[in-house]
Amino acid sequence: MTDIQAIFRKSNVAVITGGASGIGFAAAKYFASLGMSVAIADLGGDRLAQAAAELKTITGEEHVLAVETDVASRQALEALERTVLQRFGRVHVLMNNAGIGPETSIFSDQSGWDAILGVNLLGVINGTRVFGPGMIAHGEAGVIINTGSKQGITTPPGNPAYNVSKAGVKVFTEALQHELRNTEGAKISAHLLIPGFVFTGLTKGERTEKPAGAWTPEQTVDFMVESLKRGDFYILCPDNDVARPVDERRMLWAAGDIVENRPPLSRWHPDYADQFKAFLEKKD
């Protein structure tokens, strides 16, 4: 089991992409509160500067680095790593968290697909591949946390590019953890963060107040940390609307489409509505 206390401690270094808002910023504030050095990467200079300023009030200016970074570009991530290593020397926590969610359909404009896959999937893959070798090589314990989504597991209709990107993050992170645990001398573990409904810039739309059903980013990070302390790989977050047993049933039903040879996305197929409802309400 990963010793999280030994990783989340003063003098260690955390890098968070998508770190200027939402879950990423909540994580950055948590790490800063422990006295860690924190590097946040995001787009939007003003927003990034504002986030960095708040972090400096928590942990001190010398422990905060903010770098405008397009995670869809491997070259930009390589530049980020060089900057972080020059400033802090090594990395113990990598949180590949940057994500976007413009609406897509199967035949919508290519630009939307390219943007989502570039940020949500390649940002995670390239972030890991850029920072991971150095994290293994320095020989100290560390973690790579990749932000996935329940939509990458149950794949509901509505935004296929987003679902594909998050399904890819799940598969990649599973393969990453398998490789890390079979790499001699590696003290790095990988974990898949699967948020519930969280009130962030990505989800709030036109709303200005948090819906009752949503968690705050800070609640999500608290749950993440407790899950990491237990050694969980799948950090499956509930929210105020959906408890874990409901999520589990939905995921089991999605897998059952293959096993039972049902139509894909049968949860939303009218011929299976009653069957799914009964399955969801079934008591083991």
Catalytic residues: 162, 166
Q: What whole-number distance in Å separates Cα of residue 191 and Cα of residue 187?
A: 13
Q: What whole-number distance in Å separates Cα of residue 268 and Cα of residue 261?
A: 15
SS3 64: strand
Maximal C-alpha separation, the chain: 60
Q: What whole-number distance in Å separates Cα of residue 198 and Cα of residue 215?
A: 5
Q: What whole-number distance in Å separates Cα of residue 68 and Cα of residue 243?
A: 36
Region of 40 (left: φ > 0; alpha: ψ -120 to 50; beta: rest) is: beta
